Amino acid sequence: MAALALEELGIVGCGGAGFPTHVKLAARDIDYFIVNGAECEPLLHKDKELLLHQTAPFLQGLKLALDLTRAKRAFIGVKKKYAKVLEHLRSAIDDPRIDLLPLGDFYPAGDEYELVYEASQRLIPYGGIPLNIGCVVANVETLLLVGRGQPMTTKVLTITGQVPRPVTVEVPIGLSVREALALAGLHDLTGLAIIDGGPMMGRLLGDLEREVVTKTCGGLIALPLAHPLIRKMSRSLKDHTRIARSACDQCTDCTELCPRFLLGYPIKPHKAMRTAQLSAANDQAWSIESVFCCECGLCSLFSCPEDLPPREMAVAAKKTHLARGVKLSDWKGAPSVHPMRSARRVSIDRLLKKIGLLDYDRKAPFTPVDLRVERVRLPLKMHIGVPVQPLVKPGDRVAAGQKIGAIPPQKLGAVLHASISGRVAEVTADAITIARE
Ligand code: SF4
Ligand code: SF4
């Protein structure tokens, strides 16, 4: 597939940030192409379900990606505990370039830095990207979309938590979150909060009348408003800062268990806590290494014995320093793995217990759905880069799969397509709405 054709499909990374896939697959002559099927966020199942139920187009996409990038070798990272998935893939793989990479059941096994190290024994340099050390990482669903070779108009997500029937489904992008939740049997949202993504790094959804399934949504988790995780996620930075100043005894557990610290990066969240305790603003040079925080949440949700918010303080410091122009590449030297790294991994079981989600750890089987969607709202920016430029106006008729948003010239972005057929109902500064006729 030519790079231009790939660009016209509007595919973005489905593992989180939404980096445009045509740009990622423009890399050439790489050593390792690494598929991220770790899915380390608790409760989510979409990657494992896709590897089982969409194996042929996924492998087709992977082989196309290997051809395009001229990769020497590929690894598919899947947790060892999913023995059935590994066995299934082993019998389906028919390309000598592709191997399996069985992973431990720890958090965050799917972090890009962790996965690259597990696959290649190489560490991403300070301020670098995997390509700097000959690696490209892509998500399972992203490669499935490449294999299908069609415009990105649907999204696969797990819907779970306090729902009658946890499921993994494929739905049109732009579907309302309310309609998506109904697919898991959840119709009455009274007393519930909804997380977009996983419990560790997801975001709490606000106005459910406006929220829609986007290109990067991997899961919807319903939890009671009174659940401790929801209460923590609902706190303002002001409240987090007040709590941070209350009781930190500088034990350094948050740092000693930090996955990026254990890989050898300079992050030290206890210093961000100290800065918050001792300074009026969390912007002192003392916590400048917070720019290396990947926001995984382990320190705040698991490591701290006092239930304090080191992540939130580290992220606040990171934003301050990045806004000042601090660059990760300014650091001298190179990362070096901590000798205790393998002994300090946090298993998903321990994590589930600590964050109070053990009772919600249920299967969410891939379930085909036959939906007649009446309306979709398609945000103009569901990817890293700039928003797309609308190519349609209110009243225009569009067909499912039709290109309705273009990448501005010379900019980073991902093409937008209509996810249902119908008439354009509204074009605003941030979204295009299509209503079925
Ligand atoms: S934030 Fe918690 S884990 Fe970190 S140093 Fe303070 S008390 Fe210890
Ligand atoms: S959120 Fe905490 S544990 Fe995770 S990288 Fe940042 S400082 Fe480390």
3-class DSSP state of 339:
coil
CB of 260 closer than 6 angstroms to any ligand 2 atom: yes
pLDDT at 407 (0 to 100): 96
Task: Tell me if 167 sits within 8 A of 156, measured CB to CB.
Answer: no
Strands 219-224 and 154-161: parallel
What is the average per-residue pLDDT within 317-326?
Answer: 90
pLDDT of 157 strictly over 60: yes
pLDDT score recorded for residue 283: 55
* Residue-range definition of the domain harbouring residue 319: 237-354
Final residue belonging to a domain, choices 371, 401, 421: 371
Same domain as 362, residue 349: no
Q: Are residues 216 and 349 in the same domain?
A: no
Look at residue 232 and tell me if it is in a domain: no
3-state SS class at 130: helix
Residue that is last in its domain, among 126, 148, 170? 148
* 87 CB within 6 A, ligand 1: no
Backbone torsions φ then ψ of 258, nearest 5 degrees: -65, 125
| Residue nearest atom 4 of ligand 1, based on CA coordinates | 254
290 CA closest ligand 2 atom index: 7
Closest ligand to 306 CA? 1
Q: Report the run of H or E that residue 352 belongs to, with start and end.
A: helix 348-354
d(CA 200, CA 245): 23
**Domain total for the chain?**
4
Residue 255 in this model has a pLDDT that exceeds 80: yes
Residues 218 and 242 in one domain: no
Same domain, 68 and 108: yes
Do both 282 and 143 map to the same domain? Answer: no
Ligand 2 atom closest to Cα of 269? 7
Q: The domain spanning residue 141 has which CATH number?
A: 3.40.50.11540
Residue-averaged pLDDT of the chain: 94
Within a domain: residue 262?
A: yes
| Ligand 1 proximity of 303 Cβ (cutoff 6 Å) | yes
Q: 51-74 pLDDT, tens per residue?
A: 999 999 999 999 999 999 999 999
User: What is the structure's pLDDT at 245?
Assistant: 87
CA of 298 to the centre of ligand 1 (A): 12
| CA dihedral sign, ordered 257, 259, 261, 264 | positive
374-418 residue pLDDT tens: 999 999 999 999 999 999 999 999 999 999 999 999 999 999 999
**Residue 142 and residue 7 share a domain:** yes
Same domain, 18 and 162: no
Q: Are residues 117 and 59 in the same domain?
A: yes
Distance 297 CA to ligand 2 centre (A): 6
How many CA atoms, within 13 angstroms, populate the side-chain half-sphere of residue 276? 32
> Does ligand 2 have an atom closer than 6 angstroms to the CB of 318?
no
Do residues 193 and 273 share a domain? no
Region 183-197 average pLDDT: 97
> Are the C-beta atoms of 135 and 117 separated by less than 8 Å?
no
CATH number where 380 lies: 2.40.50.100
Give, using CA atoms, the residue closest to atom 6 of ligand 1.
248
CA atoms within 13 A on the CB side of 272: 30
Residue 414, in any domain of the structure = yes
* pLDDT > 70 in the chain, percent: 97
